[in-house]
Structure 1
């Protein structure tokens, strides 16, 4: 106010203040002043404010970037980004990653018994069908693989169905080029802190919580940081070997056994897309279905999941082209019904085509009822979840009510291959993605903000959670149990719940940082590399 008084005095003359009759006189004089002069005054006035703490304020503002992305300030006029058509896949992947973290938490804090099949209604709720998926690892990983098969084939299949083969070939080449760095580069970069953690002895060194199912990881602890870095590099080279093909247990992060399997399955999808690029759509559907059946017959469970994801994506395109309900997609997949324009010259017996036409007309009338559609989709969804959550045979799966018949139907070849627990969950994972893909009302559960956020950070979340659990999580569990005690079940649960709350905050925070500063950057780097090295059309 003092500066304002001086300014008014200068405007009215140098002879001092002129007596004002009322406050209106002052406001009128100020309003008559040139706005540019007011701006000049404001600027001078702001410069004269002390700036002793401005440098600290600037540094603090820079630290905002370290907060989780959902805590960043946003403009009130900023509109949320529109969700793309397959956004539900991202949400489903995020929910599956969320459950994988709970699975590994259950292993370091609880006994194996919570993973047993349920025997009566007096058992813990977590052992009940469907509910048990919240702490199941392998079924959720299988959902990952189906989603990958779907996502990798979605764009090439769409372009092929639009007869844009040149663009489809380019998209396929780009995906193949970028797949290895997309998978392995974030894994290595986000696990670099494991070098210091192992050297400092931050891991649990093979110890375990009271009654826990598994001990903590115990990577080799070297004498010097340089030796530790070399050991990590050798382990990372084995993990990133593109020709290994099989699952590799990694001492620094055992959850990454899925990456070589993911890479191999991706190459299977790329190979199928290339081999069938010039095949008619209906024939491609039939051939992909036969490949999936072959994988199922010969116990190639991972390949079946990727090929199954590709089959689900192509089925959705087929049903979208014909404009029919999802039930007709099964007929298209079997090659019994052709989209309009592809039936000319067909040599199928007329009797078979007539029977199929009658059956599909009946099926169309049934599906015209919206309530019946929702009921059928919901039953299919629950059925897929029920089969997906089948307990392992060594955890009482063959004796669990509701699963005995399924256990008896597992093919002998799968038992001989040592993977009987993979048969039914693999089928259920494809079944689940297929059901959600044809039920928009089910997709809403995976397009909410929480599921979409989990989808964005799902890959970094998967990469960082296990080292953090076996180091920070283990020590938090010990610390909180020291406060609450573990002599009773209630005290143990309270201590573990407090530890889980702290661990989840840290894991999500680190995964968020990993998503923004590593995962997104690697995706851009791989695309940049392909753009720089790729051959342009008509160029060299």
Structure 2
């Protein structure tokens, strides 16, 4: 089936925001706080206001990825259900098998390369110290093999999430992606013979239940499925040609919630949200989980707005977003390793060449903000193109081979009569 081009563009922009933000999120904290955060003399900057703050909203991009996945997966399967119902079961069976292959074969490749590079001492000292109790460069290759095996097993555990965030800490999203995808497959199969209105009612109850208990990532996937069902139910592309109250309200909610900052609690301009959450949000998780619930609601609203906006979709189908969408997955896989191998070394050298003094302490960030921005920008001018070039190489060289390998594995597993 044809890809939905504007979704590729949206995914590319979201991946770019995550890639850029990961480069400096541990060093420059000001952009990740809201305008009204305290103390006032360290904040009140224009870039902390919406909509500019969307450029630093990397945590909101993860729920957005999941809404995108839920919608993209569902759209293709719903077309089979409505147009070729006799092929739906075969399509579901193929999707259930191919999904982990498409996610985890690249993960196995990047995790293996990571261990090789770590063993060769290519990672910076601060990364080596994080795992010094388990693995050390140039020592005990077997310990690296064991570490790699345990890492892959943790990533495959979709029943009891392990949150393995040491090396390749950004890959914690993979088991969530697989778990959410399987929930989509099961829900579509279960509802395949239902009346359209019954499907919508059931999905609405599911969303209410998930929201009540704060199951944020499942909420995102089911929201993507629900939006795809609503589009199918309407029998036409749901495009709004004029500004309506619903469209304006969802736009405002999306902008407000996706700009929720990464502080340790509700910032002053978001404290009203504490009155709206259920007790379950904080009963089973810390503030981080509460925040993810609000970001997920914002991501769902944002996606629904883009889905109904021809103007935004036209922007997303232009050349740059489409290219970023094409390399979004390898860019997400690769970027952390590039930063952990060369980020600090290059950044510290550029700082010394431009400032001729030691790197500033955390409490001196605001006093050196302009110099820090210049150093990070210069460093990104080197590492950013490197990440893009490697992602492009992956798409051109490795992705077709991984795709062929996935199909070969599926063909080998299936009985002859069930092969495509």
Return the TM-score normalized by structure 1: 0.68
1: CA distance, partners of 2:417 / 2:75? 23
Q: Please give the alpha-carbon distance, in whole angstroms, between the structure 2 residues aligned to 1:298 and 1:248.
A: 20
SS of residue in 2 equivalent to 1:221 = coil
SS at match of 2:44: coil
Q: Distance in 1 between matches of 2:131 and 2:319?
A: 34
Distance 1:380 1:165, change over 3 A: same
Q: Is the 8 A contact 1:203 1:470 kept in 2?
A: yes
CA contact (8 A) 1:129 1:390 kept: no
Q: Is the 8 A contact 1:104 1:466 kept in 2?
A: yes
Alignment partner, residue 33 of structure 2? 116
| Mapping 1:330-341, distance limit 5 Å | none
Matching residue within 185, 193, 199 for 2:113: 193
Contact kept in structure 1, 2:155 and 2:172, CA below 8 Å: no
Higher relative contact order (CA 8 A, sep 6+): 2
Mapping of 1:95-134 within 5 angstroms?
95-110=13-28, 112-119=29-36, 123-134=44-55
Distance 2:293 2:25 in 1: 23
Q: 1:205 to 1:317 in 2, by over 3 A?
A: same
Q: Which residue of 1 aligns with 2:317?
A: 447
CA shift at 1:109, angstroms?
Answer: 3.3
Match of 1:316 in 2: 231
Residue equivalent to 1:94:
12
Determine the structure 2 residue equivalent to 1:176: 96
Shift of 1:281: 1.7
- Distance verdict in 2 for CA 1:389–1:536, change over 3 Å: farther
Partner of 1:147: 68
2:374 aligned residue: 494
Q: Give the paired residue count.
A: 402
2-structure distance, mates of 1:180, 1:142: 20
Q: Which runs of 5+ in 1 are unaligned?
A: 1-82, 209-214, 327-366
**Contact (CA 8 Å) 1:149, 1:266: kept in 2 or not?**
yes
Identify which of 178, 187, 195 aligns with 1:280: 195
CA contact (8 A) 1:106 1:135 kept: no
Structure 2: segments with no counterpart, 5+ residues: 361-367
Cα distance in 2, alignment partners of residues 311 and 95 from structure 1: 23
Contact kept, 8 Å, 1:87 with 1:447, in 2: the verdict is yes
Does the aligned pair in 2 maintain the 1:410–1:423 contact within 8 Å? no
SS at match of 1:198: helix
In 2, Cα distance between equivalents of 1:196 and 1:527: 27
1:290 equivalent to 2:205? Answer: yes
The whole-number CA distance in structure 2 between the counterparts of 1:165 and 1:313 is 17
Larger Rg: 1
Q: CA deviation at 1:257?
A: 0.6
Q: CA deviation at 1:283?
A: 1.0
Alignment pair present for 1:386 and 2:256: yes
Is the 8 Å Cα contact of residues 9 and 324 (structure 2) preserved in structure 1?
Answer: yes
Match of 1:482 in 2: 352
1:399 aligns to what?
268
Matched, 1:302 2:203: no
User: d(CA) in 2 for partners of 1:238 and 1:538?
Assistant: 29
Larger relative helix fraction: 2
SS in 2 for 1:451: helix
Aligned counterpart, 2:168: 253
In structure 2, distance between residues paired with 1:520 and 1:131: 37
In the alignment, the residues of structure 2 paired with residue 261 and residue 175 of structure 1 have an alpha-carbon distance, to the nearest angstrom, of: 16
Judged with a 3 Å threshold, the aligned counterparts in structure 2 of structure 1 residues 509 and 235 are, in CA distance, closer, same or farther, namely: farther
Residue pairs, 1:327-476, within 5 angstroms: 370-372=241-243, 377=247, 380-392=250-262, 394=264, 397-400=266-269, 403-418=270-285, 419-476=289-346
The one-character-per-residue Cα deviations of 1:277-303 (angstroms, maximum 9, x if unpaired) are: 111122112112211211111111111
1:4 aligns to what?
A: none
Tell me the distance in 1 between the aligned counterparts of 2:130 and 2:349. 16
Structure 2 length as normaliser, TM-score? Answer: 0.87
Cα 1:420/1:410, change in 2 over 3 Å: same
2:155–2:175 contact (8 Å) kept in structure 1 = yes
For 1:57, the equivalent position in structure 2 comes to none
User: Deviations 1:423-464 (Å, cap 9, x if unpaired)?
Assistant: 221111111112211222111121111111111111111111
**Matched-pair contact (CA < 8 Å) for 1:114–1:127:** yes
Distance verdict in 2 for CA 1:398–1:495, change over 3 Å: closer
The worse-fitting range, judged by mean Cα deviation, of 306-315 and 122-131 is 122-131
Q: Residues 520, 293 of structure 1: CA spacing in aligned structure 2 closer, same or farther, 3 A cutoff? A: farther
Q: Distance in 1 between matches of 2:378 and 2:130?
A: 19
List aligned pairs for 1:167-246, cutoff 5 A.
167-206=87-126, 220-224=135-139, 226-227=141-142, 229-246=144-161
Query: For the residues of structure 1 that align with 2:418 and 2:392, how far apart are their CA atoms?
Result: 41
Q: Are the counterparts in 2 of residues 222 and 228 from structure 1 also a CA contact under 8 Å? A: no
